[in-house]
Structure 1
């Protein structure tokens, strides 16, 4: 078992990583006899794991309710939040209730947002079941829902009290979902750690083969890297924004195509290549390193260009509505070299369009 602390002063919380954790999950919680909890999950995960989790909690004499949501990014909406709030009210849950997110990034974002607004804030625990959620979405306290005009435009910062990462969940994860998570892993190497990027290059085949020891190391390293940024910039005033490499482009893809058609990690992968090509056009990033990134994304079975039906000019309206735009200035995260990235506010729109067009011709 690996354990690390996400450091945020008196709101710090443990992240526990291992295989088989969910067989003894209640022993890890700070819940007492007769405490109340609500499990939030989706149809896919509920069918696989919900009954077992409920039985464990009932054995521990925790009063537990549950809600099963439809599965998919298109359901990350205010309507879904309202369903969670309605159940909390009907079942007389109070400020001592703990919400438990059992699922991927969508479930985690919904649960965290509901926890942040119910009775002005209650506790929640993350049990991420996808690779993307385990390495990124479940930690750091970003919560929210989508709007038709932009991804994650309605939300809050609300930290969990505990994150439990069980690599056994990845065994039943569809390969497309697993690959989606690899884009966030590769992102960490590009922006923060060249040694880790090289480790991914050397061990990708073992990650794809679900080697437990490699997965645990990889997930821990991602959590460490994210913690190092968020602990000093929780509300994304400065360097936490580096974690958004590829996301401004990727969010445009998700909004344009309709949420759920492209997985988040797939859109981010294409967005990373667009950011790389932008940095190359600015003369701040070597094409040999850009080609190295493209090669790794291809090995991870991830897209390296956006939807063919999406023209370069289709990106900008969504990008200008992105949360990372400040005072009308588009803020992009661009690499300087593998392991180092920067935040740019001064990239001309025409250059961005040219970089997106470059990516449409990559094979």
Structure 2
């Protein structure tokens, strides 16, 4: 098959996904992108760019696009007959939590709904995300004052399915190495933003530091133009514990820091899959994750008692236990690393290819 892959927001996990699929798919994939900035403008205007950029859509067997564009505009304005189109939802504007000063924009939610209705198939990166989207779409439709299109939900439900994203590591089994630092290293490899709930993370670390629990800290992950104040304060308060700070561009260096980590922690209030967690687990970090979002479904259920925390007090207790004796969790980290291998693009691309070949 010849596939046209349109990515309106080519950055972060969107970029990794597009490159991972195009590099590992057995099909011939043409990747056309826009830079990862001005996301609201991308949703409204990306279709106009792609229509002008790609002169002959008829030579493709399938168009694969992601959620940050208005697909109904693209279909309406594109010349000639179009091949089947599918859309992958990394996130959606219906269920995404608002920032501290954010206001609900119903038009963006309807853009997601219309785009999903216009496709042959809609893919979500987790069962959690799929359910959240359908629930929020139903709620938004019910907000309409009259002439509510209740038929939409049945149509959406029939075309949605879950396809986990691939991750940028090898699928082959390997033995993780014992950590060599004199203190356990805590990994934060999430975006420096409000939806990752850094306030709660640093509060737990402050309490542990006050108790005299020793640790190192790696603050990685993408940074925005405006860094939240909680990070500025943390950089000062944990200056003796921090070994590395800021986004690491080199995959090799990033991987090397993960391989030094004893534990990776998430306190997120928004996460539709959790690539950063899976990457850390693959390199031997023990995960501590909240009992919400997509986390319970991407980790083996038999280990939920050790991995999943229910409250912040529970997180602090579990983290303190690991920091006091990280070697105790080594064999479990090895097993979890092997489990994470199933999310490698080498494995996932085969699933994508098989599903896409059936779309007519």
Which one has the largest radius of gyration?
Answer: 2
Q: Structure 1 length as normaliser, TM-score?
A: 0.30
Question: Structure with the greater relative contact order (CA < 8 A, sep ≥ 6): 1 or 2?
Answer: 2
More helix by share: 1
Q: Structure 2 length as normaliser, TM-score?
A: 0.30
